[in-house]
C-alpha cells in the first residue's frame, strides 16, 4: 500500500506541476473542489426520497477518484511524496470500520473538509468501505485517470486543440480497453499505460494523415 500511495502522490505532484509549476505556492482551495465533488457524488448515489433512485455505483466510484486527486494534492502540501505516503499508510492501515450509511458518512466527510480545509483521510476510507471499493481498485482507477489527464495536457488540452474523441471513440474508452490488458501491479504501470495510449493515438493520427 505504501508503494502504491507513493506512486499516486508522485503522479499527482507531476500533473499539478504540468498545470502550474508553482502549484504549492499558489495555495489553491483544494478543499472547495472536494466539497463540490461531494455534492455531485451524492447525486449519483441518490438522496431524493420523493422518487425511486438506485445508486449509480460506477459513477460514484469515479467521483471518489476525482475527490482522491484533490485529497492527494492537499496531503502533498504537507511534505514530500515519500513522507506523506508513510503517514497516509498508517491512517489507512488503522481503518477497519464496517460499512455504514453512505449518505451520512459523506455528510460527515464534507463537514470535516469544510471545517478544517484539509483532507479527511479516515472519512474518505469510510466512504470506500461503504461502497465496497478496495484500495487496489482505487489505485487502478486513479492511475488511469491520471494518465488520461497527463495525456490530454501533453496533446493540447490546455490550448483547446485536443479533441477527446478520436478513431470514433472517446479517449477514456481507449484508455479503459488498454488498461484491461496491462498488469496494474507491475512496476512502471502508469508509464506503460501512457505509452500504450500514445501509440494508439499516433497510429490514428498517421492513418488520417
65 domain residue, yes or no: yes
Q: What is the pLDDT of residue 110?
A: 96
Residues 10 and 41 in one domain: yes
Supply 7's cell numbers: 506512486
185: containing domain: 148-208
Tell me the CA distances in angstroms from 75 to 6, 83, 85, 86, 88, one per residue in order: 12, 10, 9, 11, 9
C-alpha torsion sign, points 134, 123, 60, 182 = negative
66 domain residue, yes or no: yes
Residues 111 and 13 in one domain: yes
Contact 143, 8 (CB under 8 A): yes
User: Which of these three, 131, 156, 184, is where a domain ends?
Assistant: 131
Give which of 190, 203, 105, 101 is closest to 151, Cα–Cα.
190
Number of domains in the chain: 2
Q: What are phi and psi of 138, to 5 degrees?
A: -60, -45
Contact 42, 103 (CB under 8 A): yes
Residues 7 and 78 in one domain: yes
- What is the residue-level pLDDT of the chain in tens, covering all 209 positions? 888 899 999 999 998 998 888 999 898 999 999 999 999 999 989 889 898 888 888 888 989 999 999 999 999 998 889 899 999 998 888 877 778 899 999 999 999 999 999 999 999 999 999 999 999 889 988 998 889 888 998 888 888 888 888 888 888 888 888 888 888 888 788 899 999 999 999 888 777 76
Task: Answer yes or no: pTM beyond 0.85.
Answer: no
Q: What is the pLDDT of residue 149?
A: 86
Residues 110 and 165 in one domain: no
Residues 20 and 89 in one domain: yes
17 domain residue, yes or no: yes
Residues 153 and 127 in one domain: no
Q: What is the pLDDT of residue 182?
A: 86
Q: What is the pLDDT of residue 209?
A: 67
158 domain residue, yes or no: yes
Residues 119 and 32 in one domain: yes
Amino acid at each position: 500500500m505504501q508503494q502504491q500511495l507513493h506512486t499516486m502522490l508522485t503522479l499527482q505532484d507531476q500533473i499539478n506541476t504540468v498545470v502550474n509549476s508553482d502549484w504549492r505556492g499558489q495555495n489553491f482551495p483544494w478543499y472547495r473542489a472536494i466539497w463540490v465533488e461531494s455534492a455531485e457524488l451524492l447525486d449519483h448515489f441518490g438522496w431524493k426520497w420523493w422518487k425511486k433512485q438506485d445508486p449509480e455505483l460506477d459513477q460514484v466510484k469515479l467521483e471518489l477518484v476525482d475527490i482522491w486527486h484533490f485529497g492527494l494534492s492537499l496531503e502533498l502540501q504537507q511534505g514530500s511524496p515519500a513522507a506523506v505516503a508513510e503517514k497516509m499508510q498508517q491512517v489507512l492501515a488503522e481503518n477497519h470500520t464496517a460499512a455504514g450509511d453512505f449518505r451520512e458518512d459523506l455528510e460527515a466527510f464534507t463537514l470535516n473538509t469544510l471545517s478544517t480545509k484539509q483532507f479527511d483521510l479516515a472519512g474518505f476510507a469510510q466512504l470506500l468501505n461503504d461502497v465496497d471499493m478496495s484500495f487496489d481498485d482505487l489505485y487502478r482507477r486513479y492511475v488511469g485517470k491520471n494518465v488520461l489527464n497527463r495525456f490530454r495536457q501533453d496533446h493540447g488540452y490546455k490550448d483547446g486543440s485536443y479533441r477527446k474523441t478520436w478513431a470514433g471513440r472517446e479517449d477514456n474508452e481507449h484508455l479503459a480497453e488498454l488498461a484491461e490488458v496491462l498488469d496494474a501491479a507491475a512496476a512502471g504501470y502508469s508509464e506503460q499505460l501512457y505509452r500504450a495510449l500514445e501509440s494508439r493515438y499516433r497510429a490514428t493520427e498517421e492513418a488520417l494523415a
